[in-house]
Structure 1
Amino acid sequence: MSALKQALDDRRFVCVLEAIPQQSPSRHASLKQIVQREHLAGWPLLPAFADRVGPHSDLSPLEGAEALENPTSSLLHFSGKDRERTDLLHQIESMKALGLEQLLLLSGDRLPGHHPGQTPVRYLESVPALQIVREHCPDWLLGAALNPFKYREEESGAQYLKAQKKLLAGADFLTLQLGFDATKYMEALAWMCSQTDIKPMLACVMRLTDKRTSVLQTMPGILITDSMRELLSKEEQVSQAYANERSLERLALQIIGLQLMGYAGIHLSGVHTLDELLLLEQAIIKQQASMTSLADWGERWHASWQLSGSAQICFTPDIAAWEMGESVVMASRRERLRYKFFSKVHGQLFSRTGWLSKAFGWSVTRPIWKDGMAAHALHAVERAVKRPLLGCDTCGRCRLQDTLYVCPETCPKGLANGPCGGTQLNRCEFGDRECIHSVKYRIAKSANQLPVLAQTLIPCIEADDRHRSSWPEWFEPENSTRDAE
């Protein structure tokens, strides 16, 4: 059993240290020193290797783990951006060869150079990726991500609905995206405690400095408010030493607070040397010595974000932020009518029971449509009908019934099971549209179909199946049996 799995099973608070595997001898030597220490303030300390977050010259997580003397303790990330099923299967086999058995599956943020309207970039999203790994490796420790730092009902609701899918697909734990809003940490825990099968959760943390905020503010899904940035800047103006002390104190406090809340551990980023780790450990021990309760922690946390002459710190956007349990949105009239129209058309043509559906199914399953020019012609007809109406990219296996007739291909990442973590106030990470999963949430809520967004696990589209008609396959006997079940 891996050290991480053992710690989670034993309910020991654990520190997972995230590293970006780089072709740097000095960085590798520093990481090796940290990993050899094996603990932070008495908590188990284990390495994790990020995937596809830096330049293309960076090493893969497999290469990063392989360079350690004991690679089996490593938690590898797998980012689905620009990946297919075959890429994941290849990584599984490579991990088995090294004795690695733990994986954090992520859809991944925007691939550099990926622009909507150009050649699509495919993202193997985490829900089907979890299913694939669980099928091939039933005993592995698998994790997935959750971003609770959302402040609109649609985007927050969609995040939690997709997280339910991740649990159904086989996630053993969830890791929260980087954030600083304590109310959202508590919200995520309350959500997990409401689930039938409660899983441990880790939280991403990082020492926040004025220099880092300029980078983090450009990263999708991470909220750094203007008041936070102003405070950090003013601390720098006092002195660099003062700013360093304050940022270290806040990181130590954040970690202690997460333990007091009930988190299973942390996913620590931005610590690159043993000296940095030891300074953090000293700060944690110093705070722990006089910390008695979560209420006491809350007072200190807020005090750590105060500075004479600075505005009151706000961790939320300058809006009336949504809180879990509130019901404030519904689908627009147009969205409701659109859903009813396509649902009716689908029932008439694809139910496989009525005379019209049977006739349509018979016509598109004739042998003539299977190959050559006829197959291309049927594909062209389906695309000509569905693209103007739905944004269809003829993926070969239509998922519209499971996505409330909002086509997944209109998401720049092609995500079908729910949103990525990069939205902000319902806006897509790419910034050119509203997130389609926020639209889906409103429609599902208005049509009493929210369980569909939490329970229907939509498989990935295989590369060889794309750009062909989905109609013949829909009426194949095995598909009819599957849907009846």
Structure 2
Amino acid sequence: MSPLKAALRDKQFVCVMEFVPKASAQRFAAMAAIMARKQLCGWPMTVAIGDRVGSPLDMSPLDALDTFDTPVPALPHFSGKDREAHHLLAQLQRMQAAGLDQLLLLSGDRLPGHQPGERPVRYLESVAALLIARQACPHWLLGAALNPFKYHEEEGGAQYLKAEKKLAAGADFLTLQLGFDASKHQQAMHWMQRQGSPRPMLACLMSLTAGRAAMLEHVAGVTVSPSMRSLLEAESQVSKAFALARSVDRLALQIIGVKLMGYAGVHLSGVHDLEQLLLLEERLHYWLGHIHSMAQWAPAWEDSWQMPGLPSVTFHPPAANWRPGESTARASAKETLRYHLLHSTHSLLFSRSSWLSKAFGWAVRQPVWATQGGARVLHRLERAAKRPLVGCDTCGRCRLEDTLYICPETCPKGLANGPCGGTSLNRCEFGDRECIHSVKYRTAKAVGQTAVLAERLIPCVEVQTRHRSSWPQWFEAPQLRQLSRQPTPGSQPES
């Protein structure tokens, strides 16, 4: 059994060391030296191998594993950006052949060069990927991500609703996105403890300096507030050594803090060599000897973010600090009216029970539409009718009923089950629009349909069905629709 599986089973704190594979012998040697220690302060270690972090051309996690001279316990990642179901199935098969049985599934951040309005890039989102992986590998350890560092109700509420889907789809544990706001770590833990079957969570942490804060400005979904940046810059002006020592000390404190909160472990980012690990371990030993409760931890954490002459640090963006349970989001009259109009239209034409719906279903299932020319005409008709209304891209598996009539194809990533982690104050990671899932959350709240956002697990759209009419498939027998949505392990797309 892997160290990660054993630690989660035995409720032993665990350290997952993030490794972004590059074609550099020095990087591999440095991580191998870290992993040779096997533990940090007695906590077992596993290496998490990133996938497509910088580019689709990056070394794959499995190729990276093969590059280590000595085998290391690993948690490979699978990033869904610009991928289809068959890519995931191929990785699962390769992992099975290598004796690997644990995987972290992510939708993935923005693909470099992906611009809205150009060639659509579709992302195999984590909920759909979990459904596929759990069906293909029922006994594997599967993880997914949660970003609780959200400061508007819509984006924060939608994150937690999607996380419920991830648990239902088969996630055995959740890894949080990188964050520094201890109140958000506590909120996420309280949320998990309220679930029917709580799962372990890992907190993604990093020692933060002014240089890293500047770098993180370009990382979607990571919040570094202005007051945090001011303190980090003041530390760097004292000296580089002073700033580094303070950042390592804060990381040690944060690790102890999330452990006291009940986290199962940490996912450490930015520890690239053995010297950094040893500096961290030294500070951990110091604080572990002095802090044994949250009451002792809280003032030490607060003090680590203070310097004479500077105001108190706040971890939230200016004028935005939503907390779970606060209700401030309100749908506009236009958003509510749009839902009711589209819902009424859907009920008339697609309920499969009214006479008009039955007549429409009979019409679109006539043999003429199964011919090549007929299918092309029906596709154009559906696209012409629906694109002005909802932005339809005729995915061939219409999901509007499950998404409150907000088309997932209007998300730049094509996400149907909920938002990615990259939003900022309701703005899409791409920066050119409001996140459609924030609009969907407001609408669901206004019409009493928030349960839909947590309970309906929407499978991925198979590549071979895209750019076809969804109407004939919609009126198939329910069991045939369900079977057609479930990919078969090892299946390949049609040519």
Q: TM-score range by the shorter chain?
A: over 0.9
In 1: Cα distance, 2:381 partner to 2:320 partner: 46
> SS of the residue aligned with 2:202?
strand
Provide the identity percentage: 60
Relative distance call for 1:481 and 1:412 in structure 2 (3 A) is: closer
The residue type paired with residue 45 of structure 2 is L
> SS of the residue aligned with 1:404?
coil
In 2: Cα distance, 1:258 partner to 1:366 partner: 60
In structure 1, the residue matched to 2:355 is 355
Q: Tell whether the 8 Å contact from 2:3 to 2:45 is kept in structure 1 after alignment.
A: no
> In the TM superposition, what is the alpha-carbon distance from 1:244 to its structure 2 partner?
1.1
Task: State how many pairs are aligned.
Answer: 483
> In the TM superposition, what is the alpha-carbon distance from 1:481 to its structure 2 partner?
7.8
> In the TM superposition, what is the alpha-carbon distance from 1:207 to its structure 2 partner?
1.0
> In the TM superposition, what is the alpha-carbon distance from 1:331 to its structure 2 partner?
1.4
- 1:102-132 residue CA offsets vs partner (Å, 9 max, x unmatched): 1000000000110111110010000010010
1:424 partnered with 2:424: yes
In structure 2, the residue matched to 1:384 is 384
In structure 2, the residue matched to 1:21 is 21
In 1: Cα distance, 2:330 partner to 2:318 partner: 22
Q: Tell whether the 8 Å contact from 1:71 to 1:100 is kept in structure 2 after alignment.
A: no
In 2: Cα distance, 1:346 partner to 1:54 partner: 42
In structure 1, the residue matched to 2:471 is 471
Q: Tell whether the 8 Å contact from 2:105 to 2:143 is kept in structure 1 after alignment.
A: yes
In structure 1, the residue matched to 2:322 is 322
Q: Tell whether the 8 Å contact from 1:172 to 1:200 is kept in structure 2 after alignment.
A: yes
The residue type paired with residue 88 of structure 2 is L
1:239 partnered with 2:239: yes
Relative distance call for 1:319 and 1:381 in structure 2 (3 A) is: same
More displaced stretch, 119-128 vs 286-295: 286-295
The residue type paired with residue 288 of structure 1 is L
In structure 2, the residue matched to 1:157 is 157
In 2: Cα distance, 1:222 partner to 1:479 partner: 42
- 1:397-436 residue CA offsets vs partner (Å, 9 max, x unmatched): 1000000000000100000000000001111000111100
- 1:101-250 equivalences under 5 Å are 101-250=101-250
Relative distance call for 1:163 and 1:188 in structure 2 (3 A) is: same
In 2: Cα distance, 1:481 partner to 1:238 partner: 65
In structure 1, the residue matched to 2:458 is 458
Q: Tell whether the 8 Å contact from 2:47 to 2:72 is kept in structure 1 after alignment.
A: no
Q: Tell whether the 8 Å contact from 2:12 to 2:264 is kept in structure 1 after alignment.
A: yes
More displaced stretch, 318-327 vs 209-218: 318-327
In structure 2, the residue matched to 1:11 is 11
Relative distance call for 1:394 and 1:210 in structure 2 (3 A) is: same
1:62 partnered with 2:62: yes
CA RMSD of aligned residues (A): 1.3
The residue type paired with residue 281 of structure 2 is E
The residue type paired with residue 276 of structure 1 is Q
- 1:321-366 residue CA offsets vs partner (Å, 9 max, x unmatched): 2111111222111111110111100000011111101110000000
In 1: Cα distance, 2:369 partner to 2:87 partner: 31
The residue type paired with residue 123 of structure 2 is Y
The residue type paired with residue 267 of structure 1 is H
In 2: Cα distance, 1:481 partner to 1:253 partner: 52
In 1: Cα distance, 2:331 partner to 2:318 partner: 24
In 1: Cα distance, 2:75 partner to 2:480 partner: 40
1:265 partnered with 2:269: no
> In the TM superposition, what is the alpha-carbon distance from 1:26 to its structure 2 partner?
1.0
Superposed structure 1 runs of 4+ greater than 4 Å apart: 69-72, 479-483
In 2: Cα distance, 1:271 partner to 1:201 partner: 20
Relative distance call for 1:265 and 1:343 in structure 2 (3 A) is: same
> In the TM superposition, what is the alpha-carbon distance from 1:175 to its structure 2 partner?
0.3
The residue type paired with residue 6 of structure 1 is A
> SS of the residue aligned with 2:268?
strand
In structure 1, the residue matched to 2:92 is 92
1:306 partnered with 2:306: yes
In 2: Cα distance, 1:284 partner to 1:157 partner: 34
> In the TM superposition, what is the alpha-carbon distance from 1:468 to its structure 2 partner?
0.4
- 1:392-403 equivalences under 5 Å are 392-403=392-403
- 1:406-417 equivalences under 5 Å are 406-417=406-417
More displaced stretch, 327-336 vs 416-425: 327-336
> In the TM superposition, what is the alpha-carbon distance from 1:371 to its structure 2 partner?
2.0
**Structure 2: gaps of 5 or more residues:** 484-495
> SS of the residue aligned with 1:418?
coil
In 1: Cα distance, 2:198 partner to 2:143 partner: 13
Q: Tell whether the 8 Å contact from 2:35 to 2:72 is kept in structure 1 after alignment.
A: no
In 2: Cα distance, 1:457 partner to 1:445 partner: 19
In structure 2, the residue matched to 1:286 is 286
In 1: Cα distance, 2:211 partner to 2:435 partner: 30
> In the TM superposition, what is the alpha-carbon distance from 1:54 to its structure 2 partner?
2.1
> In the TM superposition, what is the alpha-carbon distance from 1:56 to its structure 2 partner?
4.9
Q: Tell whether the 8 Å contact from 1:257 to 1:297 is kept in structure 2 after alignment.
A: yes
After TM superposition, the score normalised by the length of structure 1 is 0.98
> In the TM superposition, what is the alpha-carbon distance from 1:480 to its structure 2 partner?
8.0
Relative distance call for 1:110 and 1:367 in structure 2 (3 A) is: same
- 1:203-255 residue CA offsets vs partner (Å, 9 max, x unmatched): 00011111111110111100011111111111111111111110110010000
The residue type paired with residue 31 of structure 1 is M
In 2: Cα distance, 1:170 partner to 1:161 partner: 15
In 1: Cα distance, 2:212 partner to 2:401 partner: 43
Q: Tell whether the 8 Å contact from 1:72 to 1:101 is kept in structure 2 after alignment.
A: no
> SS of the residue aligned with 1:37?
coil
Q: Tell whether the 8 Å contact from 1:102 to 1:141 is kept in structure 2 after alignment.
A: yes
In structure 1, the residue matched to 2:295 is 295
Relative distance call for 1:356 and 1:70 in structure 2 (3 A) is: farther
> SS of the residue aligned with 1:142?
strand
- 1:157-194 residue CA offsets vs partner (Å, 9 max, x unmatched): 00000000000000000000000111100000010011
- 1:446-471 residue CA offsets vs partner (Å, 9 max, x unmatched): 11111110010000000000000000
In structure 1, the residue matched to 2:490 is none
In 2: Cα distance, 1:431 partner to 1:205 partner: 25
Q: Tell whether the 8 Å contact from 1:81 to 1:110 is kept in structure 2 after alignment.
A: yes
In 1: Cα distance, 2:481 partner to 2:322 partner: 42
> SS of the residue aligned with 1:309?
coil
Q: Tell whether the 8 Å contact from 1:228 to 1:314 is kept in structure 2 after alignment.
A: yes
In 2: Cα distance, 1:217 partner to 1:260 partner: 29
In 2: Cα distance, 1:55 partner to 1:478 partner: 40
> SS of the residue aligned with 1:53?
coil
In structure 1, the residue matched to 2:42 is 42
> SS of the residue aligned with 1:15?
strand
Q: Tell whether the 8 Å contact from 1:73 to 1:100 is kept in structure 2 after alignment.
A: no
In 2: Cα distance, 1:393 partner to 1:175 partner: 33
In structure 2, the residue matched to 1:274 is 274
> SS of the residue aligned with 2:36?
helix
Q: Tell whether the 8 Å contact from 2:348 to 2:357 is kept in structure 1 after alignment.
A: yes
The residue type paired with residue 364 of structure 1 is V
